[in-house]
């Protein structure tokens, strides 16, 4: 493992710019997503190399259902083939795979592939990769609050935090959104209260180890005060 001083424990990534990457080259949007999967694989390797413990990828949002059926099916196909390989990066490197969001509306074979790999990797602890699938930050909060209402007690901030889909992992220290857009787009809204945000001007399919290290160096310069004094 390559040691860099003070790396984030949890990185959360909004993988933006796949469509623009493809359009710029006269290619269909799904080829941008396909190349985006290679960037996911590179990033997971970088997480292993630099000792990141948790990495969450925003792979499909609650708003992405508004896209064409062709694009949605293309993203599902990419996900399915990425997690269905026998010798995949998770098994080979002892990486735990988990997911957040509501996967019920996903195709049955995709849900099965996901659940199988989650089951196979559940005791791995080198790195935890979280795929956000049919995930929305507001939806996460609403579902958490509804769970708590059923318990009938007065609730506090911690109760909500623990009832979110991310209840058993730490809040993200560092959020990266590629492509230059500076929005949160309904990602981990409650969990990002004190995250450091970073917006590199690179389309997701081009994101590589060099960009990753540059991001880590930017993080190291941040002075996190969590609302207190420095
Ligand atoms: C955002 O770019 C990207 C997505 C909505 C989908 C990302 C999905 C993948 C990379 C495939 C998932 C697979 C794995 C293994 C996690 P955009 O399409 O909004 O780009 P644009 O803003 O340039 O149009």
Q: For the segment 64-95, what is each residue's pLDDT rounded down to a tens digit?
A: 999 999 999 999 999 999 999 888 999 999 99
Q: For the segment 134-171, what is each residue's pLDDT rounded down to a tens digit?
A: 999 999 999 999 999 999 999 999 999 999 999 999 99
- Give the Cα separation of 209 and 49 in Å (integer): 10
**Selection from 7, 8, 34, 41 nearest residue 19 by Cα:** 34
Q: For the segment 168-227, what is each residue's pLDDT rounded down to a tens digit?
A: 999 999 999 999 999 999 999 999 999 999 999 999 999 999 999 999 999 999 988 888
Token pair belonging to 170: 């730490």
Q: How far away, in angstroms, is 223 Cα from ligand 1 center?
A: 31
User: Is any atom of ligand 1 closer than 6 Å to the C-beta of 147?
Assistant: no
- Give the Cα separation of 48 and 2 in Å (integer): 9
- Report the Cα 195 to chain-centroid distance in Å: 14
Q: How far away, in angstroms, is 60 Cα from ligand 1 center?
A: 7
User: CA triplet 28, 19, 35: central angle to 5 degrees?
Assistant: 75
User: Is any atom of ligand 1 closer than 6 Å to the C-beta of 19?
Assistant: yes
């Amino acid at each position: 493992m390559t040691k860099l001083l003070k790396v984030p424990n949890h990185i959360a990534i909004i993988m933006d710019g796949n469509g623009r990457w493809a359009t710029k080259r006269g290619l269909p949007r799904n080829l941008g997503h396909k190349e985006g999967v290679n960037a996911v694989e590179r990033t997971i390797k970088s997480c292993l190399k630099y000792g990141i413990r948790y990495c969450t990828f925003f792979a499909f949002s609650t708003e992405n259902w508004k896209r064409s059926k062709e694009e949605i099916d293309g993203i599902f196909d990419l996900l399915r083939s990425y997690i269905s390989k026998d010798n995949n990066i998770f098994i080979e490197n002892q990486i735990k795979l988990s997911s957040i969001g509501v996967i019920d509306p996903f195709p049955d074979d995709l849900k099965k592939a996901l659940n199988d790999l989650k089951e196979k990797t559940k005791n791995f602890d080198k790195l935890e990769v979280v795929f956000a699938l049919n995930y929305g930050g507001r939806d996460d909060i609403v579902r958490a609050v509804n769970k708590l209402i059923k318990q009938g007690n007065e609730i506090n901030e911690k109760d909500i935090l623990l009832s979110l889909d991310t209840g058993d992992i730490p809040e993200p220290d560092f959020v990266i959104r590629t492509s230059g857009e500076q929005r949160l787009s309904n990602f981990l809204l409650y969990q990002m209260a004190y995250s450091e945000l970073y917006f590199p001007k690179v389309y997701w399919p081009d994101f590589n180890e060099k960009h990753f290290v540059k991001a880590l160096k930017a993080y190291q310069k941040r002075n996190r005060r969590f609302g207190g004094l420095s």
